Chain A
Amino acid sequence: QSALTQPASVSGSPGQSITISCTGTNDVGSYSLVSWYQHHPGKAPKVLIYEDDRRPSGVSNRFSGSKSGNTASLTISGLQAEDEADYYCCSSAGSNTPSFGGGTKLTVL
């Protein structure tokens, strides 16, 4: 079970775009699928992106995912105050053991 590395924090102003990276060794690559979660403390985490770049119905199209090599990315465009939360990537490298990244705290300035 490898570690997924995320920046501890990112920030941006309302209306701007930010990108959160998720880098791993065996977990993020050709044989794995990455998902992204938004977590407001005290609430249930919510899936934003699955299978690298697919968005569940009901999730704003301001959220997008991509992957290149061993790095997956979550981009939030048109930042809003309500986007301030913790964000986690997750991957299982095609196995039955998922790993989460350490989480990134997004601050909307």
Chain B
Amino acid sequence: QVHLQESGPGLVKPSETLSLTCSLSGGSINSGGYYWSWIRQLPGKGLEWLGYIYYRGDTHYNPSLNGRLTMSLDASKNHFSLKLSPVTAADTAVYFCAVWVNWYYFDYWGQGSLVIVSS
């Protein structure tokens, strides 16, 4: 059973970089057809897909982030990461990692990591 777990600082200052890591257990990050994704939920709002990274390193980001997002992957550690910079208070959200299977559906999700952007 695949398990995903987010980790990272819960508080980030405005204009700085929000960094999160998603650790995978029970599976391999080198699996074909699995697009490792980040999704967030703004306070009181719905889900917003942020981007994905494929095991070969291909990435695709939500255009609404205006080039602020970078994702990376470390196969040796079986984890992938998100960097969002610069951040503002509007980036305060619960950030989820998930796997998008063959561009069809998100099969496994982490429990989410609350990140607050505040000075």
Contacts and interface: CB of A to CB of B under 8 A. Distances in A.
A33 B47 contact: no
Contact of A45 (B60, B62, B106): B106
B111 interface: yes
Interface stretch (A12-20, A66-74, A92-100): A92-100
Contacts of A103: 45-47
Category for how many chain B residues contact A:
20 to 34
A88 interface: yes
A33 B100 CA distance: 13
Given A97-B60, A97-B62, A90 B105 contact: yes
B111 A47 contact: no
A22 to B, nearest CB: 12
Contacts, number: 65
A109 interface: no
Contact of A88 (B46, B104, B107): B46
Given A96-B60, A97-B60, A47 B106 contact: yes
A97 B62 CA distance: 7
Given A43-B111, A44-B111, A50 B104 contact: yes
Given A33-B104, A45-B106, A99 B49 contact: yes
B21 to A, nearest CB: 16
Tell me the interface secondary structure of chain A in the complex. Answer: loop
B96 A92 contact: no
Contacts of A95: 103
Interface in B46-68: 46-49, 52, 60, 62-64
A101 B46 CA distance: 7
A97 B39 CA distance: 12
A21 B111 CA distance: 26
A62 interface: no
Interface in B73-102: 96, 98, 100
Interface of A: 1, 33, 35, 37, 39, 42-47, 50-51, 56, 88, 90, 92, 94-103
